[in-house]
Amino acid sequence: MAVKAGRAPAGTPVHTAVGDPVLVRNVALVGPTGAGKTTLAEALLARTGAIPRAGSVTEGTTVCDHDPAAVRQHRSVGLTLAPLQWRDITVNLLDTPGYGDFRGELLAGLRAADAALFVLPASEGRDGALEPGTVTLWEECAGIPRAIVLTRCDTARADVEATVAACRDAFGPDAVPLHLPVRDADGTMTGLHGLLDAADGSGPAGADEARAALIEQIIEQAEDEDLLERYLGGDDLRTAELAAGLRTALLRGSFHPIVPVTAAGAAGPDELLELLTSAFPTPVDRTPPAASDPRPSGPDPAPPMAADPDGPLVAEVVHTGADPYVGRICLVRVYSGTLRPDSAVHVGGAVPAPRRSPEAGPDEQHDSDERIGRIHSPLGAVLRETTACVAGDLCAVPRLEAVVGDVLSDPAHPVHLTPGARPEPLLPIAVTARDRADEDAVARGLARLVATDPGLRLERDPETRQTVLWCAGEAHADVALGRLRDGGVEVDLEEVRVPLRVTPAGSGRVTGRHVKQSGGHGQYAVCQVEFAPGEPGSGLVFSSEVVGGAVPTQYVPSVEKGIRAQLERGLPAAEGEPAHPVVDVVARLVDGKAHSVDSSDAAFQTAGALAVRAAAETCGLRLLEPVDEVRIRLRDEHLGAVLGDLSARRGKVLSTEPDGAGHTDVRAEVPRIELLRHAVDLRSLTAGTAEATRSFARWAQRS
């Protein structure tokens, strides 16, 4: 809930809307947890006058980490927007969490952004290599223009040169310094030396060699033959020409300039802001998500997408938050057209599917028309009212009944967008109200929680009768439960139970006899049924082999109905155990008896159910447990540990497929009960670099 309805101070003017997408830069701050992303945002906001002074993460006074959960944990837990202005350019900083449990918020930030600043502490490379999780985060941003920011370059543990070398080893030779630190006689960093400027011998040691390497990379990645010929011919290239080549190379996504900054932002913010405004892509430079018409028989195809303020409206909800007074608040990225206050919009998109099961169908679609009220430009928790949000810009819309991924479009021409990636939550926690009287409040609180956090999934298991909240990990679960408490909802946790099944262990013929004569109209039904185990996944296979009318034809379906009802109600696998549904049964009705007066549909249903109970004693029952197929993508160095962990969980590895680039895809079948904490353990085994998905595979005999 990173967008909240804090009100601007009294006297704050209405935020001036951007009129041209060319004057917008949408930049995601990405990096490992603790890298200094939020602190960097504070320095940039303070430098541009968006805030009077920079806040502190440890004191909980930053613009971006205003969420109570972020303040408690001293780290970002959600996506936050913080706009600033520099030389008439609006830069929308999207601060994303670095911890793996909040990957969904990172993906949302990348979806809304046109480029990324990859933030690293200058101490991370001092040992010669970057952390595996850092490299995984870098790979997560593939396909989007990126620059690298080295933070805390003036601290005692900082080693800028070693971290630059580690970046080049991990990210490739396209990561090149754009500035070098300038230090005084004591080694304290006092400023930056720009390598695009003409070489005059005044730079720090190694500046000429670094400048030559930078120019060569710019020319190579920009693929500018004119610059190449002039450079090889010994011409002195002007700074403006190199800056234009740098922008071309950066937009191609194949060049990654490195900018060092100090911990408190004394050196580096100006140079970084110049890079953002002069070289980073505008919304016009980026290709928006593919659009489609949700109506199969629509009269017209979906309009072409372009960052045109005068085009048809197409916007997407990239984040949702909640406020106790205002209600739901949606952070919206406008791709086409202009979103204005008091306008009608069509809201549509795919409803997140429940956890996949054998019976699960396709994702449900929802569509509705709503009216937008006011729109705002959020600065962290503060909502500043604005008059419009043009293509390429972002805004906050209160009281909009929408979820992440929903698309806002013209009601006359509704549009759906290709959905963005979303991680699957794999850690279940069972929650229950502390008091029966609180059940309604808990249900409402959980519904609000899931509506504002797409990384969560809520299920009500009809068999175990548990309410299960699926989270990405323990930190994610802590944040979710903390938000419930902040909303006045207290819940207790209980052990997650996994539903089981039973199936016949053998074959046998049994008799279901239901005879009652207590005066008046009686009940009479006798059926003989042969039971046997069925094929896995076959359910109930029923047939009748009755001859001579021993069971009248009209009562044969009654026997089947009674058998099916008892199988669904379930039977215990052993005395004293709970009942479980019975599956994969072959039942053949072979004989029976009926009475001309006392037989009835209800009597034969009861007889069929009694036959099932008798078969449990005669044939015996085998306990079945659900087995899930698990797919894991991991780095090769973690393969042995992960395979050993799967074996310890009674898993069966089906395949391992290396991609030749340092990663392996593992596919395995594992009993579901062994996977309850697999997400947590997998993160520990792989330093948070693995990605897993899970789906139901089959029912198997419990070993």
What pLDDT shows up at residue 497? 94
User: 427-494 architecture in CATH?
Assistant: 2-Layer Sandwich (3.30)
Residues 431 and 493: beta-carbon distance below 8 Å? yes
Query: Average of pLDDT values for 3-15?
Result: 44
* CA pair distance 101, 430, nearest whole angstrom: 18
What pLDDT shows up at residue 228? 85
What pLDDT shows up at residue 350? 56
What pLDDT shows up at residue 277? 95
Return the higher-pLDDT residue of 703 and 692. 692
Query: Each residue of 461-496: b (16+ CB within 10 Å) or e?
Result: beeeebbbbbbbbebbbbbbbbbbeebebebeeeeb
Residues 296 and 279: beta-carbon distance below 8 Å? no
Model confidence at 364: pLDDT above 60? no
- Does residue 338 sit in helix, strand or coil? strand
DSSP element (H, E) containing 622: strand 621-635
What pLDDT shows up at residue 520? 65
Q: Write the CB contacts of 683 (distance below 8 Å, at least 6 apart in sequence).
A: 100, 473, 690
pLDDT digits over 106-146, tens only?
999 999 999 999 999 999 988 888 999 999 999 999 989 99
Query: Average of pLDDT values for 514-542?
Result: 90
What pLDDT shows up at residue 128? 85
What pLDDT shows up at residue 295? 66
Q: How far is CA 399 from the centre of its chain?
A: 23
Q: Tell the residue number behind the tokens 């599917």, with chain if given.
A: 353
427-494 and 501-619 agree in CATH topology: no
CA torsion, points 634, 636, 637, 641, in degrees to nearest 10? 60
Residues 120 and 177: beta-carbon distance below 8 Å? no
DSSP element (H, E) containing 619: helix 601-619
**Domain range annotation of the chain:** 21-200+253-285, 427-494, 501-619, 624-701
Q: What phi and psi values does residue 509 have, to the nearest 5 degrees?
A: -105, 135
Handedness of CA 217, 221, 226, 229 (dihedral sign): positive
- Does residue 366 sit in helix, strand or coil? strand
What pLDDT shows up at residue 304? 64
First to last CA, the chain: 44
Q: Which residues pair with 591 in a beta bridge?
A: 528
* CA pair distance 411, 303, nearest whole angstrom: 13
* CA pair distance 285, 22, nearest whole angstrom: 9
Query: Average of pLDDT values for 89-103?
Result: 94
Class assignment of domain 624-701? alpha beta
What pLDDT shows up at residue 328? 86
Write down the CATH number for the domain with range 21-200+253-285: 3.40.50.300
Q: What phi and psi values does residue 265 have, to the nearest 5 degrees?
A: 80, 20
pTM: 0.87
Q: Please, where are the H alpha helices in 223-298?
A: 225-232, 239-251, 269-279
**CATH topology (fold) of 501-619:** Ribosomal Protein S5; domain 2 (3.30.230)
What pLDDT shows up at residue 162? 94
Return the higher-pLDDT residue of 231 and 253. 253
Least confident of 7-16, 58-67, 573-582: 7-16
What pLDDT shows up at residue 279? 95
Neighbouring C-beta atoms of residue 192, cutoff 10 Å: 23
* CA pair distance 365, 294, nearest whole angstrom: 9
Written as six digits, the tokens of 702 are 């419990």
Query: Average of pLDDT values for 661-690?
Result: 95
Least confident of 22-26, 197-201, 270-274, 403-407: 197-201
